[in-house]
Amino acid sequence: MASKPSDPTRVPTALKILIAGGFGAGKTTMVASVSEIRPLQTEELLTEASTGVDDVSGVEQKTTTTVAMDFGRITIDEEIVLYLFGTPGQDRFWFLWDELALGALGAVVLADTRRLEDCFQSIDYFERRGTPFVVAVNCFDDDAEEHTPDEVREALDLEPDVPLVLCDARSRASSKAVLIALVQHVMAQLRRPTWPVALVR
């Protein structure tokens, strides 16, 4: 008790970054490629009322669905730790998104050029919420070069100030560059005096 090696109440600041996008766009791959730990999985149970076909008794049938989220970690220094959450894409899981987006540093929307429409929901969500985000086009196939960044930007109807980057989610260096682009974007927004802070809450 005489000497404490470290103050036990000192804990790092944990910052959340969301990795969103459609099914198979490479969310888990990106989390795995930059995380310092093997990605962990956390589960939330979702109980929903469902109407059965034999709903004669008027008794609600309830089903429990397990929603799994993969997450990874990057320790920046003693004070700051980043948590990357691969977010489940289906819209009935928005309640989880709301919790994740609260206080999040920002988000990466992974786009697969073969199914660009899969990321519309994520883009809409972050735009409405005012969460800063970048769009990362995952070029895991060589056919991605058929689409120029400008074409993708136009197809997604992105605001001009939203960064769009090409990436390979399997590559640590490439995924790292995406996160750097996101942080730079957040900093640029912070410096902009017209940023609608009041609307974000």
Residues at the interface with another protein (CB under 8 A): 8-9, 11-16, 34, 40-45, 66, 71, 73-74, 76-77, 79-80, 82-83, 85, 99-100, 102-103, 105, 130, 132, 172, 176, 179-180, 183-184, 186-187, 189-190, 197, 200-201
In DSSP notation, 109-144 reads EEE-GGGGGGGHHHHHHHHHHT--EEEEEE--SGGG
Smallest distance, Å, CB 169 to another protein?
16
The nearest distance, CB 151 to another protein, in angstroms, is 28
- Please, which residue, 47 or 51, has the CB nearer to another protein? 47
Q: Which residues contact 16 (CB under 8 A, 6 or more apart)?
A: 82, 83, 85, 100, 103, 104, 105
Contact 30, 169 (CB under 8 A): yes
Parallel, antiparallel or unpaired: strands 106-111 and 133-138: parallel
* Closer of 33 and 113 to another protein (Cβ): 33
Which residue number, 8 or 193, has a Cβ lying nearer to another protein?
Answer: 8
